[in-house]
Amino acid sequence: MPNFRALVLHDDSGRVASAIEDVDDSRLPPGDVTVAVEYSTLNYKDGMILRGLGRLVRTYPHVPGIDFAGTVERSESPDYKPGDKVVLTGWRVGETQWGGFSERARVRADYLVPLPEGLSARQAMAIGTAGFTAMLAVTALENRGLRAGADVLVTGAGGGLGGVAVALMAKLGHKVSASTGRSQLRDYLEGLGAAVVVDRIPADAAVRPLDRETWDGAVDAVGGATLATILSQLKYGASVAACGLAGGSDLTATVIPFLLRGVNLLGIDSVMCPQEPRFEAWRRFARDLPLDKLEAMTDEVPLSRVAELAPRILAGALRGRTVIDVRR
């Protein structure tokens, strides 16, 4: 097979540096399916990996990219044949093994999901890990009784996970309050379907044990004081799906909302999510996510621009989803 291009990270005495390099197949990890990658995306975790934060990567040289979509080139698995369109998110690909910031990737067949009918590879990556997590969060809230017409809150709404959650929940008939630190995103968030745009909950908010009963459900991408505040504002028996930590990982909540309002804190993990809910989440996108809204929240960049965008996603400065065309 001909060589291919990949964004390779090197650890230079504790400082992580990246370069686009010409790579051959012998450097790919073991796996029964080889994929010609068309698109990947820039996620918050990729930003951390590109900057060498959080000790997520232990072995260098490394190719990041925690998700990708493309076409099967070679397969030793009965489940996939050359020409099949596939999607991958999670399983620590892009962390413990080389990932999607590359024209070619090799993985275990059971890490892959067939590209759902009605979605292109680009649309699947506009969804990507962040959008997939938003779908798991919405499904978890529904499994706890969320019904159409509910008052729901989405935090970090200007980001990727938040944007997909806003569009999805609006389409499902909920009244969505979108929380953002960027007031200039009002029109954008209303365009995605938000009924109301509200300010961010300040990181140093003094959290009251119980506040006014406000939300039937919430998708939280921020964590920290934001998550503690949401817990205090849930209606009786309502749930928050905790997805992220863009605003911090410490949780200083009290047990009072659990004891006096029977609220639920639902942890959402997209990485090791089992196959059946994983397949079902992808099937739901073609049905439940308005694809025009998905397009409106998506920017596309070539692989050559990824490294320069890493600090911006960590600073919460990117809007919506950033798709990477790895062939450019």
What DSSP assignment string belongs to 116-179?
PTT--HHHHHHHHHHHHHHHHHHHHHHHTT--TT-EEEESSTTSHHHHHHHHHHHHTT-EEEEE
Residue 1 CB, nearest approach to ligand NDP (Å)? 32
3-state secondary structure of 114: strand
Shortest separation between residue 136's beta carbon and ligand NDP, angstroms? 7
| Closest CB to ligand NDP: residue number | 159
* Choice between 16 and 161, CB closer to ligand NDP: 161
* 8 Å CB contact between 321 and 64: no
Phi and psi based region of residue 320 (left: phi greater than 0; alpha: psi -120 to 50; beta: remaining): left
Pick 92 or 147: Cβ nearer ligand NDP: 92
Distance CA 320, CA 163 (A): 6
For the CB of residue 177, give the shortest distance to ligand NDP in the complex, in Å: 12
Least spacing, CB of residue 27 vs ligand NDP, in Å: 27
**Residue with Cβ nearer ligand NDP (247 or 257):** 247
Report, in Å, the least distance between residue 228 CB and ligand NDP: 13
Tell me the residue ranges of DSSP E strands in 200-263: 215-220, 234-242
* C-beta closer to ligand NDP: residue 72 or 222: 222
**Which of 110, 116, 75, 105 lies closest to 91 in space, CA to CA?**
110
Q: Which is nearer to ligand NDP, 35 or 318 (CB)?
A: 318
Nearest residue (CB) to ligand NDP, 72 versus 125? 125
**Where do contacts with ligand NDP occur on this chain (CB under 6 A)?**
43-45, 129-130, 133, 156-162, 180-182, 200, 203, 221-222, 243-247, 268-271, 313, 316, 318
210 near 232, Cβ under 8 Å?
Answer: yes
The minimum distance between CB 314 and ligand NDP, in angstroms, equals 7
Least distance (Å) between residue 2 CB and ligand NDP: 33
Q: Residue 25 or 308: which CB sits closer to ligand NDP?
A: 308
Least separation in angstroms between CB 22 and ligand NDP: 30
CA distance 167 to 56: 30
Give the relative orientation of helices 275-288 and 121-143 as an angle to the nearest 10 degrees: 110
Burial 134-169 (b: 16+ CB within 10 A, else e): bbbbbbbbeeeebeeebbbbbbbbbbbbbbbbbbbb
| Smaller CB separation from ligand NDP, 81 or 312 | 312
- Contact residues for 65 (Cβ-Cβ < 8 A; gap 6+): 7, 40, 46, 93, 94, 99, 100, 101, 102, 105, 324, 326
